[in-house]
Structure 1
Amino acid sequence: MKKSTKWLIGIIVVVVIVIAGYFSFGGSLGGKQKAQTVTVGRVAPSKSDEAVWNAAAKQAKDKYNITIKYKDFTDYVQPNKSVQNGEIDINAFQTKQYLDVWNAAHKDSTLTSIGYSITTPLRLYSRKVTNVKDLKKGATIVIDNDAANQGRSLKLLQSAGLIKLNNVKNPTPSDIASNPKKFKITPIDANQTARQLDDVDAAIVNGGFAKADHVNTKDSIYKEPLTKENKQYFNVIVTTKKNANKKAYKEVVKAYQTKAVKNQIKKSFGDLEQSAWDIKF
């Protein structure tokens, strides 16, 4: 056999081995990543939420060949249980503070944040008055009753000058130290706060439910300030600690944290929400 022929056969063998190894690790000749699916848990998504996630899903598909699927919930409990149990891959509905409270209350929880998504400053809404100072003595104010958002709501009322709280990290109504106008502060389910607006004097409504129930920001009489201290209220994308470095999950976060998604958030929500990953203090 000629020397040149041996060289040619050797080169062919090397090429075959390289190609076989490449495909065995999920590669393709076009450089496209192996197709994957990631299931995301959400809570009561509105059409505006859908538009934002559609933008993220397009980025995930185009850049990383990841198909995003969804499992939607109506409460704040099941999405975390579903991630913990492995029923879904990640979820995107809660603030960092809510996650911290959840982990403290559930000793078996291994949930962790893998990136920021949006921030939705809490607002106090009213269809009875147009200024927070005009709330009358004995007025009824409804707030969210879950442990994390209840404390956040009370801090908002304090920052609005309506009450004073004891110096605790996560206050409850029993931590109200001063309530000069004797407001009736009533915790109820988060998904009911917006629906009570016509029946009470004021309500603190989570941004997602405000959008879903078509609450107009013109009815807002006080807005939570955007400060470094309130960064704990930025929303996060969550999975379990064992999956925190999983490439596909991190790529979903990258797909979300893009200019295309930022623009869609602005288009869908106006000043109700904004991207959180690029806020500087």
Structure 2
Amino acid sequence: MSKKRNRNIIIGVIVAIIVVAIGWFSFGPKPNNQKSSNHVVTVGIVSETKPKQDIWKHVAATAKKKYGVTVKIKNFTDYTQPNKAVKNGDIDLNAFQHYAFLDAWNKSNHGGVVAIGRTEINPIRLYSKKYHKLSDLPDGATIAVPNDASNESRALFVLKNAGLITLPKGKKLPTVADIVKNPKKLKVKEVAADQCGRVIDSVDAAVINNDFARPAGLGKKQTIFVEPVNKDSLKWVNIICARKGEEKKKDYLAVVKAYQTEETKRLDKKYYGDMQKTAWDIKF
């Protein structure tokens, strides 16, 4: 009877140990690679180019290794979709726009999206096929600029920084009508952004976004002025954005940290050269 009782006690102790062990592995502290298995952040971008994909692969690897966050990339085909997707909660973050674009979108869509970190800036250029340097531009020269609000104002700031025109102080998105001084009596011609590269042969010069300059065969040889990175260009810095009210989420900020690394700088320089600059540590 005593042996049977001892056996039951031993069996009971073994069962208890097994139960505790199961509880520990189910609810106790988890290894780092399991700790954040549910920490998934979806980032929307508007690009399927290899450089952009490679940079985000590096970001995803860093976020996983250092912060236990899994980054998933969702590609969009145009600029009208990613902010709406963030605001609606379809994705967590997006990385495709600059401050000026975000401000304009929020005004038109009753807000809802906020910037949580800087990525890069893509300085745009004043190109000419007729003249080799800025000082060669004659009085009365015709210069093409994009006609949409965001890009037009940026192009005018390029002309302002080139010393060609003067703009009113404090005006965030100036138009051609806002030009205060135009000593060379330049004729500023407004055309669709995607047409600026196509009209380069019929004007003296044109301010052209990088996306449209390359297809038009424009490069350093045709560049007569490069947009400087200064306080005027802060609004053109690209950013990572989140839904308003969620900008302090730890996992989202981890993605920003994973982006803002020396390796990202190296890849950026490798793929874009001087056409793009990382901007998170630039002082404006």
- Is the pair's TM-score, using the shorter chain for normalization, greater than 0.5? yes
Mapped to 2, the partners of 1:117 and 1:210 lie a distance apart of: 22
Shift of 1:139: 2.7
Gaps of 5+ in 1: none
Question: TM-score of the superposition, structure 1-length normalised?
Answer: 0.81
1:55, 1:209 → 2: CA distance? Answer: 27
Cα distance, 1:143–1:38 mapped onto 2, change above 3 Å: farther
TM-score norm. by structure 2 comes to 0.80
Q: After TM superposition, give the deviation of residue 174 of structure 1 in Å.
A: 1.0
Mapped contact 2:48–2:75 kept (Cα < 8 A): no
Q: Does 1:178 align with 2:184?
A: no
Q: Distance in 1 between matches of 2:93 and 2:245?
A: 12
User: Which is higher, the Rg of structure 1 or of structure 2?
Assistant: 2
Q: Offset of 1:164 from its aligned partner? A: 1.7
Structure 1 residues 200 and 259 mapped into 2: Cα distance closer, same or farther (>3 Å)?
same
Give the corresponding residue for 1:19: 25
Is the contact between residue 157 and residue 232 of structure 2 (CA under 8 Å) also seen in structure 1?
A: no
Cα distance in 1, alignment partners of residues 112 and 83 from structure 2: 10
Separation (CA, whole Å) in 2 of partners of 1:218 and 1:277 = 29
Which amino acid letter does the alignment assign opposite residue 196 of structure 2?
T
CA contact 1:60–1:68 (8 Å) conserved in 2: no
Q: How many equivalent pairs are there?
A: 276
* RMSD, matched Cα: 3.2
Larger deviation, residues 106-115 vs 259-268:
106-115
Q: Which amino acid aligns with 1:126?
A: S
Q: In the TM superposition, what whole-angstrom CA distance separates every residue of 1:89-136 from its partner, at most 9, and x where no partner exists?
A: 322222223322332x22522110011101222221222212122223
Taking a change above 3 Å as real, the CA distance of residues 210 and 53 of structure 1, as seen in their structure-2 partners, is farther
Q: Deviations over 1:71-97 (max 9, x none)?
A: 2334x4333233323344322222223
Match of 2:221 in 1: 218
Partner of 1:162: 164
Distance 2:231 2:274 in 1: 19
1:92 to 78, 92, 95: 95
Superposed CA deviations along residues 196-230 of structure 1, whole A, max 9, x for unmatched, are 33443222223344456663233221122222453
- For residues 46 and 217 of structure 2, the distance between their equivalents in structure 1, rounded to whole angstroms, comes to 16
Stretch of structure 1 that moved more, 176-185 or 166-175:
176-185
Distance change in 2, residues 1:5/1:208 (3 Å): farther
Moved more, 151-160 or 250-259: 250-259
**CA–CA separation in structure 1 for the residues paired with 2:17 and 2:211:** 60
The aligned counterpart of 1:121 is: 123
Find the counterpart in structure 1 of residue 77 from structure 2: 73
User: 2:53 corresponds to which residue?
Assistant: 50
- Alignment of 1:188 onto 2:191: yes
Offset of residue 10 of structure 1: 5.8
Tell me the CA shift for residue 239 of structure 1: 1.9
C-alpha contact (below 8 Å) 1:45/1:208 kept by paired residues: no
Contact 1:40–1:90 (Cα < 8 Å) also in 2: yes
With over 3 angstroms needed to count, the CA separation of the structure-2 counterparts of 1:206 and 1:58, relative to structure 1, is: farther
Secondary structure of residue in 2 paired with 1:231: helix
Does structure 2 conserve the Cα–Cα contact (< 8 Å) formed by 1:92 and 1:237? yes
Cα distance change on mapping 1:209 and 1:52 into 2, 3 Å = farther
2:136 alignment partner in structure 1: 134
Separation in 2, partners of 1:82, 1:191:
25
Partner of 1:236: 239
Gaps of 5+ in 2: none
Hey, what's the Cα distance between the residues in 1 that align with 2:141 and 2:177? 18
